[in-house]
Every structure is written in C-alpha cells, then in structure tokens.
C-alpha cells in the first residue's frame, strides 16, 4: 500500500485497537501537557480570537522562537481587529518584513477587512466561517475555534502529522490526498470528550518539543510504549518524505541604483513572489544594466563591480540573484513615478523588503 502512495493502518496490531488507544493517547497527552507542556507563550492564556489568530498565522511554517518578537511588535502596533482592518497593507507588510511567506500578511489584513465588513467586526465562532476567511485553512480554523470558543474540532498541522504518523505507524507522504484524508479521520477519532484545549495544545507542544523532525526525544515522550515507530526502530522513516523533484533554478539581476546616498526601490505586483513589497528593480541577467537603467528609468549610470551572487531558496524553486550596483550620473527623464521610490539607505533597510533584498 505504501508503494502505491496510499496510507495503511494495521488494525490487527494490538496498539491499533482504536477504542483503547484513543483513551490512552488522549489521556496521556493531556496529563503530559499539564505537567510538561508550554504555558507561558505570549499568545496563550487568552480566549481573544484575534490574538490567537495572529499567532496561528505567524506560526505557519515558522518556529516559535522566530515568531515571538514579530508577534510582540505586531500586537503593539495592531492590538485588535479594528486597528488591523483600518491599517494600510503597506504598514502590515513592513511589520512582517523578514518573517517570510508574505501572502500570510496580505491574507491577515484582507481577513480583518472582511470580518469588519461581513461579521460586524466580530470574529466568527463557527470553524466553517473561520475557514472561509483568507489565509485560514481547516487546521488553523479548528485551533482558533478550540482555543477561543471550546469547539470540538481536530487540528492537523505539520507537527500533528508527524506525531500521528509515528505513533500509529501510518505509511505514505502526509501531503498525498489519501494519506491526509486518513490522518484527518484519525485526528477526529482521537479527540477527547473533555480538556479539549489542553489536548490541542498538547499535540502542538509534543510535536514542537519532543517528537521533532530530527533527534526526537523518545525517552521523555508520553507515547513511548505505544508508538509504532519507536517500537520498530523506524522513527526516522515517519513521516515519509515528499517524493523528490528537481528544484528548478531561476536567475535574475537586481539593480542597486545609487544617487546621493539614496537607492531606487520599486513596488512589486500585489500577487506572486514577494507580492506588494518594495524591492530592487529586476532585469534579465543577459541584458545590459546601463541600457536597462536608461530605457526603463531615464537614468544615465556608470556600472560598478557586481556584488557576489546570492542564492535564495523558495518552496518550489531556487533563485540566483546577481546584485548590480550602478551610480546615477544624470537623468534623461524624471525617474519618479507611481510604484517607484528613492530612499536613503537606512530608510530603505527599514522598509517592507524581502529578506534577500
């Protein structure tokens, strides 16, 4: 079944006798979380759906240690849903700069605007209504509903998938639709009747602190004697890796157009990579930077020595960047126009720029 890309749970094994395992799993997890779980993160100990929502979006594909300072700054600037809905997207993106996956910030802002328009500024309670908001998936909606409104709903983020595949010996890559469907069924079956918030937080904590991707601390895990992966000495094999595909390489030249201590930035389109952020102008690496500067921006420039190439990895491709500095020595026409901005270097460094820029 694994070779065919399907998920299999061997129900003949004693540890997969679901009624008993369900009680054992949830009872152990709840007891462990109360004693050993995380209890003092900035977004915990609150039922404010806005605070929980912001944290859940920031924590998507980002570690807690990286999120904490961003979360503090964001909540200080936008302490409630009304302030976020009233903000300019540019201000939101600027606070997000460096955290990556910028569509999260755009969706966060868009969702706040929609909640204000469609829900009277009150965060919806129903998981389906929450999931209908921009940037919120099934697992995130369930987490918000569980933590803030006590709704009995299952979560299934990356940490939870890792815990379940190891503990129950689930074969196959979790991103494959059949495997993911089986995991959702299992996650819903395991839900306890009480202490749901503690259980949900425990799933997150167990995957983040003990059942980690590398070097899991199985000796301290509350599931060590019922975990299939540990018993069979196959922890490293779960979850199965995504089938590998060659990561394509793209190349670009970024122009650093310098004028009296200022640099020219260009606003990127709202969709696509780094959507809505300010960036350095890009051009085809095969082109002539000086001619590009003159034809596109009306600038006469002298080319300086290129800076070392920079490689930046995205989820689906790698980008090789060649930074090309040019000193502006004259104008053939005015370079200022909508979507372009001259900034001092210090101010530019504080703008909403992508990390490699």
Which of the residues are catalytic? Answer: 56
Look at the block and give the residue holding tokens 């152990």.
28
Distance (Å, whole) CA 213 – CA 242: 14
Map residue 327 onto helix, strand or coil: strand
Let me know: does 315 contact 331? Beta carbons within 8 Å.
no
Let me know: does 353 contact 277? Beta carbons within 8 Å.
yes
Torsion of CA 273, 239, 70, 102, to 10 degrees: 10
CA distances from 305 to 101, 156, 284, 287, 309 (A): 31, 50, 18, 16, 12
Return all residues near 5 (Cβ < 8 A) that are at least 6 apart: 172, 173, 176, 178, 179
Look at the block and give the residue holding tokens 């129900």.
11
- Report residue 147 CA to chain centroid gap: 20
CA atoms within 13 A of residue 337's CA, in its CB half-sphere: 7
Structure tokens at 338: 């909508």
Instruction: Compute φ and ψ for 354, nearest 5 degrees.
Output: -60, 150
Map residue 52 onto helix, strand or coil: helix
Please, which residues bridge with residue 93 across strands? none
Longest Cα–Cα distance in the chain:
79
Distance (Å, whole) CA 168 – CA 226: 8
Distance (Å, whole) CA 299 – CA 278: 20
Structure tokens at 337: 């126009």
Distance (Å, whole) CA 298 – CA 12: 74
């Amino acid at each position: 079944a694994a070779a065919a890309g399907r998920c299999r749970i061997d129900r003949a094994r004693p540890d997969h006798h679901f009624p008993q395992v369900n009680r054992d799993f949830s009872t152990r997890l709840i007891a462990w979380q109360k004693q050993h779980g995380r209890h003092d993160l900035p977004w915990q100990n609150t039922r404010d759906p806005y605070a929980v929502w912001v944290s859940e979006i920031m924590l998507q594909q980002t570690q807690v240690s990286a999120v904490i300072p961003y979360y503090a700054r964001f909540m200080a600037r936008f302490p409630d849903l009304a302030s976020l809905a009233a903000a300019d997207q540019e201000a939101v993106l600027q606070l997000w700069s460096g955290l990556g996956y910028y569509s999260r910030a755009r969706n966060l802002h868009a969702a706040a605007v929609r909640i204000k328009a469609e829900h009277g500024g009150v965060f919806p309670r129903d998981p389906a209504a929450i999931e209908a908001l921009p940037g919120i998936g099934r697992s995130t909606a369930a987490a918000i509903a569980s933590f803030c409104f006590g709704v009995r709903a299952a979560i299934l983020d990356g940490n939870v998938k890792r815990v379940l595949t190891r503990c129950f010996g689930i074969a196959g890559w979790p991103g494959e639709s059949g495997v993911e469907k089986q995991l959702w069924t299992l996650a819903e079956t395991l839900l306890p009747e009480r202490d749901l918030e503690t259980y949900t937080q425990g799933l997150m904590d167990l995957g983040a602190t003990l059942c980690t991707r590398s070097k899991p601390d199985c000796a301290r895990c509350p599931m060590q004697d019922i975990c299939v992966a540990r018993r069979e000495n196959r922890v490293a094999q779960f979850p199965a890796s995504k089938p590998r595909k060659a990561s394509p390489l793209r190349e670009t030249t970024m122009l650093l157009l310098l004028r009296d201590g200022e640099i020219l930035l260009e606003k990127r389109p709202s969709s696509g990579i780094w959507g809505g952020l300010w960036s350095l102008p890009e051009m085809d690496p095969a082109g002539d930077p000086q001619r590009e500067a003159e034809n596109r921006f009306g600038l006469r420039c002298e080319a300086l020595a290129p800076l070392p190439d920079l490689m930046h990895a995205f989820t689906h491709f790698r980008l090789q960047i060649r930074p090309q500095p040019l000193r502006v020595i004259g104008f053939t026409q005015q370079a200022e126009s909508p979507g372009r901005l001259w900034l001092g270097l210090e101010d530019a460094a504080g703008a909403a720029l992508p990390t490699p820029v």
